[in-house]
Amino acid sequence: MIKTPQNMKDYTDQIRATLKEKFLQTTLNNFATSYKASRAKAFSGMDLEALREEIACAKDAALPRLEELLEEFTRHAEADGVKVHFAKTAQEANAIIAAIAKENNVKTIVKSKSMTAEETFLNDHLEKQGLKVTETDLGEWIIQLRHEGPSHMVMPAIHLSRYQVGDLFTGVSGEEQDPENIDKLVKVARKQLRPRFIEADMGISGANFAMADSGAIGIVTNEGNARLTTTLPRVHVTLAGVDKLIPDIKTALTALKGLTRNATGQGITSYVTWIKGQPPCGASEKEVQTRHIVFLDNGRLALAKDPVFSEVLRCIRCGACANVCPIYRILGGHTYGHVYIGAIGLILTFFYHGRDNARAIVKNCLNCQSCKVVCPAKIDLPYLIKKVYREVMDEDGKRPLRNRLLARVMGNRKLFHTLLKNAWMAQAPIADGPKIRHLPTIFGRKHDFRTIPVLAKHPLRDQWSSFKPVVRNPKLKVALFAGCAQDFIYPQQAKDAVTLLASYGVDVDLPMDQTCCGLPLLMMAENETAKEVAEQNLKALDTDRYDYILTLCASCGSHIKENYPKLLQKENAVPEGVKKLEEKIIDFSSFMVNVLKVTADDFRVSGKKVAYHAPCHLCRGLDVVEEPRELMRVAGLDYVPAADEDVCCGFSGSYSVDFPEVSEQLLRRKVANMEATGADIVVTDCPGCVMQISGGMDKHASRMRVCHMAEILREMRKKE
Amino acid sequence: MENGKNKELFKEKAEAIQTLVSSAATPEVIAAYTVDLTADQGGKTIALAGFDEETLAALLPDLKEKAKAKGIEVLEPPFRPHLENIHTGLTPALWGIAQTGTLVLRSADENLRIATMLAETHVCVLDPATIYPSTDELAPLLDAAIKENGAAYMAFITGPSRTADIERVLSIGVHGPEFLHILFKEEKADD
């Protein structure tokens, strides 16, 4: 039933079709906005970071012990009369459950929501055996009736409108339903499903927790259907991934605190149910319920032992990685996953449903870090998505030509820089002043949603010796990591920063052996070359000689700080030199505010109205949030907050080339939000964002100017 | 003092999620409240489960009498034969959790489960002395309760049954009770 595109061509077609679904985009957009507010409210007054750390540590401690926990759980559960099964594969799990149904003479089954059952396509299997299976979670029932998969882990039918549900329920109930009356639609489900609960021979549930020291399970729900599913039928079967095993109830209660707040912004759901042994059951001749628990492996045990990927099993299925994802917000779950959707879905699809289903979707990540910072179990989702991308390429046995070329060129700094310089010559015929307004037709019109800046005639590195200001008795010595964009496209941004810093007695060097930070390589899963350039930069940026390593590019900064330790670790330890680099690297706004402690006296009072775009890699990658806003205020600018300031502009390097339609949508929204502020200028902290947003402003004939923080700061600085 | 704070917080949190909370319930008040509420809603039946012998002796005769006067039947367990005609479920809670306004019900008794799951309205009696600040303080008790010999079915109930599965619009009463009323048991003034 679920068909996921297995190549980029089919996937692009699916994306184009999805972009025409206006209801979907409106509803997901509203959801993204309201989710942010309700989540913040749910966690207010709590130490969220400590909780995330606690959940991550508790899961990490359990994962290497899964087999042991399974044995302990089985011992306790079986002592209380519950039969525990272990299924190596999805097919095995389905066969076990069908056999339980058969031996208990089961005809009808009610199910409460289980993502694991979605994973194994359990319903299809049971229906083929002639069993009547009814989903009872409202959302799951709706998609079962429509023969669809869930489009969200927590809200499976979020993609549907009240009108679609109204039509569906009119058909099911045989009575005309008023789609405007959602309360009444919900009551249709109550009325239609009650008899199903009462007649059911068997109930199938999932489990959020399986506690080894008691053999009890925990189920988290809102509707009350799981309580009915586990109470009324004479047989109850639980299907759970083996990763749901945890040592004890304390671990469950800790995870629960993060789960409900992160999933739906609720302090707790309406119902949390803890079941152990065989509860009394009037429908059973034995007067107690027959209970079975099926633990599904399907690759989990191997995954738990993987040094890189084991952390995906920390997932507690809150669905938040989709809620905050700017791509999910545009495409919805059916175009952004297979069975599991969102960031975690891109990863799990590869492990649970194979590389054919993962191949195209796994490329669809901006690396904007939104999911990483919201994950209650601190899974580094964007990093692992790139790792899966690489696994897919390796298993397919072919790296695209673009990858091989990129790796070869970037691995050699001199070759890379020579090519960039030559490229300036090549683009001359299509350039229109400082911009390329229309790409040659071979690129296709879908890339024409923004203008692209031309490469600078003289890169920063070529101007450096004649430009470098002389600073006598410097207060601080700083190395500038320019990054490709400022070196070759926007040298003026770097020059403005250096001039400004000189006025504060900061002596800036540009170490010439530096090269691309390597993020574009990691984005294309070229890890080996990403590691090579990281080593080159580590050597070039001689940390002992400088007080700080300054970067004006949030992406370079966050890549160096976050990913270099991962790329360059040796025998699971981060070398001293890398640690020093990690400590010394700093972004422009933080340097101005926290190191130089600039004051309002240094700047003219202009009262210029500015809007701000928070680069993904600054506000999440480097966790720098307050400093840029503070800096704009100190510099005498009238900063007007915009909607979705911290949502990705859609650039993300090669992403915008692979997924131009999605990038265009993100840019369109960014431009609209910026224009709505009524400001004259957009300020940001990343040359990539400057490039994307000014390209969008051009296409939308906007009068707004887009500039880097360093440029506007230099303009505002009082003359000496 | 500390418990007064828990009680206040519990009330505030429960009321924020469509739950009605009343104080100082004696057995007479519980009986009158449940019967009046059932009558107001046009309900015809009350299913009572989970009370200890002492409370039951004080509550049941009065409840039956008041119910009878309004044409309401107090159902006799087992409740399996009444799955489709339970209007009000009346049960005690074992503990409360202040931070979230959560009731904890010892629910191994099938009649109690049926009364709290299939009713339109659930009236639950909670002793304020058993309200804990959060799950942190409750964890050891819950752990022990689950590990008691035999089967366990412990239920956290927080507000009425709810869903937001259609266009994320909150709707109350999808599969479980549509109304949840909590009666704080009268506190003994012996200290």
With a cut of 90, say whether residue A428 has pLDDT above it.
no
Residue of B nearest to A261 (CA): B100
Tens of pLDDT, residues A36-49: 999 999 999 999 99
Cβ distance A186 to B171 less than 8 Å, yes or no, reads: yes
pLDDT of residue A442: 59
pLDDT of residue B3: 77
Tens of pLDDT, residues A216-260: 999 999 999 999 999 999 999 999 999 999 999 999 999 999 999
Cβ distance B175 to A253 less than 8 Å, yes or no, reads: no
CA A135 to chain centre: 29
Contacts of A232 in chain B (CB under 8 A): 83
DSSP class of residue A291?
E
Q: Are B10 and B137 in contact (CB under 8 A)?
A: no
DSSP class of residue B49?
-
CA distance A250 to A476: 50
Cβ distance B118 to A253 less than 8 Å, yes or no, reads: no
pLDDT of residue A212: 98
- The residue ranges of every structural domain in chain A are 8-22+310-396, 453-595, 600-716
Among candidates B101, B135, B159 on the partner chain, residue whose Cβ is nearest the Cβ of A253:
B135
A8-22+310-396 is classed in which CATH architecture? Orthogonal Bundle (1.10)
Tens of pLDDT, residues A617-626: 999 999 999 9
Residue of A nearest to B157 (CA): A271
Does A600-716 match A8-22+310-396 at the fold level? no
The set of residues, in sequence order, having a beta carbon less than 8 Å from that of A567 and lying 6+ positions away, is A518, A522, A527, A530, A531, A534
Cβ distance B157 to A27 less than 8 Å, yes or no, reads: no
Contacts of A145 in chain B (CB under 8 A): none
Contacts of B165 in chain A (CB under 8 A): 137-139, 142, 155-158
Strand A202-205 vs strand A108-111: parallel, antiparallel, or unpaired? parallel
Confidence of residue A686 (pLDDT cuts 50, 70, 90): very high
Cβ distance A223 to B161 less than 8 Å, yes or no, reads: yes
CA distance A376 to A342: 15
With a cut of 70, say whether residue B190 has pLDDT above it.
no
Cβ distance A138 to B83 less than 8 Å, yes or no, reads: no
pLDDT of residue B191: 45
pLDDT of residue A452: 84
With a cut of 80, say whether residue A444 has pLDDT above it.
no
Contacts of B50 in chain A (CB under 8 A): none
Q: Residue A50 class from Cβ within 10 Å (0-12 exposed, 13-18 middle, 19+ buried)?
A: exposed
Q: Are A81 and A182 in contact (CB under 8 A)?
A: no
CA distance A93 to chain B (A): 25
CA distance A189 to chain B (A): 7
Tens of pLDDT, residues A365-397: 999 999 999 999 999 999 999 999 999 999 998
Contacts of B101 in chain A (CB under 8 A): 267
Distances (CA, A) of B161 to A209, A319, B166: 21, 21, 15
Which backbone phi and psi does A397 adopt, to 5 degrees? 75, 15
Cβ distance B155 to A227 less than 8 Å, yes or no, reads: yes
Residue B11 tokens read as 């009330």
Instruction: Assign residue A504 a region (left: φ > 0; alpha: ψ between -120 and 50; beta: otherwise).
Output: alpha
With a cut of 70, say whether residue A306 has pLDDT above it.
yes
**B110 at interface of A, judged by CB pairs closer than 8 A:** yes
β-sheet bridge partners, residue B153: A275
With a cut of 70, say whether residue A657 has pLDDT above it.
yes
CATH of domain A453-595: 3.40.50
Confidence of residue A418 (pLDDT cuts 50, 70, 90): confident
**B50 at interface of A, judged by CB pairs closer than 8 A:** no
CA distance B176 to chain A (A): 5
Restricting to B residues 79-108, those with a Cβ less than 8 Å away from any Cβ of A are: 80, 83-84, 97, 99-102, 108
Among candidates A158, A231, A278 on the partner chain, residue whose Cβ is nearest the Cβ of B117:
A231
Cβ distance A231 to B168 less than 8 Å, yes or no, reads: no
Residue B69 tokens read as 């006067």
How many residue contacts between A and B have a Cβ separation below 8 Å?
Answer: 173
**B137 at interface of A, judged by CB pairs closer than 8 A:** no
CA distance B172 to B17: 10
Instruction: Assign residue A369 a region (left: φ > 0; alpha: ψ between -120 and 50; beta: otherwise).
Output: left
Contacts of A194 in chain B (CB under 8 A): 84
Distances (CA, A) of A462 to A413, A536, A556: 15, 20, 21
Q: Are A545 and A580 in contact (CB under 8 A)?
A: no
Nearest to A359 by CA among A332, A392, A336, A382: A392
Cis peptide before B78 (omega within 30 of 0): yes
The mean pLDDT of chain A is 94
Contacts of A275 in chain B (CB under 8 A): 152-153
Contacts of A273 in chain B (CB under 8 A): 153-156
Average pLDDT rounded to a whole number, residues A2-31: 95
Residue of B nearest to A192 (CA): B175
Among candidates B135, B158, B166 on the partner chain, residue whose Cβ is nearest the Cβ of A270:
B158
pLDDT of residue A493: 97
With a cut of 70, say whether residue B1 has pLDDT above it.
no
Restricting to B residues 57-76, those with a Cβ less than 8 Å away from any Cβ of A are: none
Give which of A164, A268, A269 to mutate to test B binding, by max B Cβ within 10 Å.
A268
Among candidates A139, A267, A272 on the partner chain, residue whose Cβ is nearest the Cβ of B99:
A267
Which backbone phi and psi does A641 adopt, to 5 degrees? -60, 145
Q: Are B182 and A250 in contact (CB under 8 A)?
A: no
Kindly report the three-state secondary structure assignment for every residue of A401-433: HHHHHHHHHHCCHHHHHHHHHHHHHHHHHHCEC
Residue type, A476: L
Instruction: Tell the residue number behind the tokens 């059952």, with chain if given.
Output: A117
Domain A600-716 has CATH 3.40.50.1860: yes
With a cut of 90, say whether residue A406 has pLDDT above it.
no
Nearest to B162 by CA among A128, A624, A138, A179: A138
Residue of B nearest to A82 (CA): B151
pLDDT of residue A439: 64
The set of residues, in sequence order, having a beta carbon less than 8 Å from that of B140 and lying 6+ positions away, is none
CATH superfamily of B2-185: NagB/RpiA/CoA transferase-like (3.40.50.10420)
With a cut of 50, say whether residue A710 has pLDDT above it.
yes
DSSP states along A45-112: TS-HHHHHHHHHHHHHHHGGGHHHHHHHHHHHHHHTT-EEEEESSHHHHHHHHHHHHHHTT--EEEE-
With a cut of 90, say whether residue B178 has pLDDT above it.
yes
CA distance A356 to A347: 13
Among candidates B114, B118, B168 on the partner chain, residue whose Cβ is nearest the Cβ of A155:
B168
**B18 at interface of A, judged by CB pairs closer than 8 A:** no
Cβ distance A224 to B175 less than 8 Å, yes or no, reads: yes
CA distance A644 to A367: 17
Cβ distance B109 to A222 less than 8 Å, yes or no, reads: no
DSSP class of residue A119?
H
Nearest to B98 by CA among A271, A272, A268: A268
Average pLDDT rounded to a whole number, residues A197-218: 98
Which backbone phi and psi does B89 adopt, to 5 degrees? -100, 130
Among candidates A190, A211, A277 on the partner chain, residue whose Cβ is nearest the Cβ of B151:
A277
Average pLDDT rounded to a whole number, residues B30-45: 98
pLDDT of residue A408: 81
pLDDT of residue A513: 95
Nearest to A166 by CA among A157, A155, A177, A181: A177
Nearest to A562 by CA among A510, A621, A629: A621
Tens of pLDDT, residues A50-91: 999 999 999 999 999 999 999 999 999 999 999 999 999 999
Cβ distance B80 to A282 less than 8 Å, yes or no, reads: yes
